[in-house]
Amino acid sequence: MKWRTFSGQAIESNLIQKVEETIIRETSMGYKLKLCIGTDSRVCGNIIEYATVIVFVREGRGGFMYVSASNEENKLSLNQRMITEVAKSIEVAYSLCDLLEKYNISLEVHADINSDPNFKSNSALKEAMGYILSMGFVFKAKPDAFASSYCADKAI
């Protein structure tokens, strides 16, 4: 996966190395960090565009994010697309687990799935929640899933 800052600057180094450098820099400046990872998608004709974000939340002081974007052919149902979003987030979260444990940084995985049963995406809620929780991650869905619902949405 290719990563960049939200402003578009490419991240040339290995993601784990870059996240570690970021954690060291931010904590040395006195910030208490939490990471939130989320993915959103958009269907454009026969293509699905995905954006996965790592949001660094400076508790009480805002935050910033790293973004990775990808595309694939649109051959998925809505449920399959929602679970693919979750899988992309889990892949990133899993790769950062050891690092976050080393620095005692909390992590949440956000799913762009509505907790309101009146929305179509809600049909994937139980499966997504089970997937994320079974991996040992903290789960958040809409309206609390800002990493996927707002940050990744803006990055597509």
CATH architecture of 4-155: 2-Layer Sandwich (3.30)
Look up residue 101 and give its two tokens. 């444990």
Output the CA–CA distances (angstroms, integers) from residue 130 to 12, 55, 62, 95, in the order listed. Answer: 34, 22, 30, 19
pTM of the model: 0.93
pLDDT in tens, 86-96: 999 999 999 99
Residue 109: Cβ within 10 Å count: 28
Give CA–CA dist 145/30, Å, rounded.
26
Contacts of 68 (CB under 8 A, 6+ apart): 1, 2, 3, 4, 51, 52, 53, 92
Where in the chain are the domains?
4-155
Mean pLDDT lowest among 12-21, 74-83, 104-113, 120-129: 120-129
Give CA–CA dist 39/82, Å, rounded.
9
DSSP secondary structure code for residue 148 in this structure: I
Residue 135 has pLDDT above 90, yes or no: yes
Tell me the residue ranges of DSSP E strands in 45-99.
47-58, 63-73
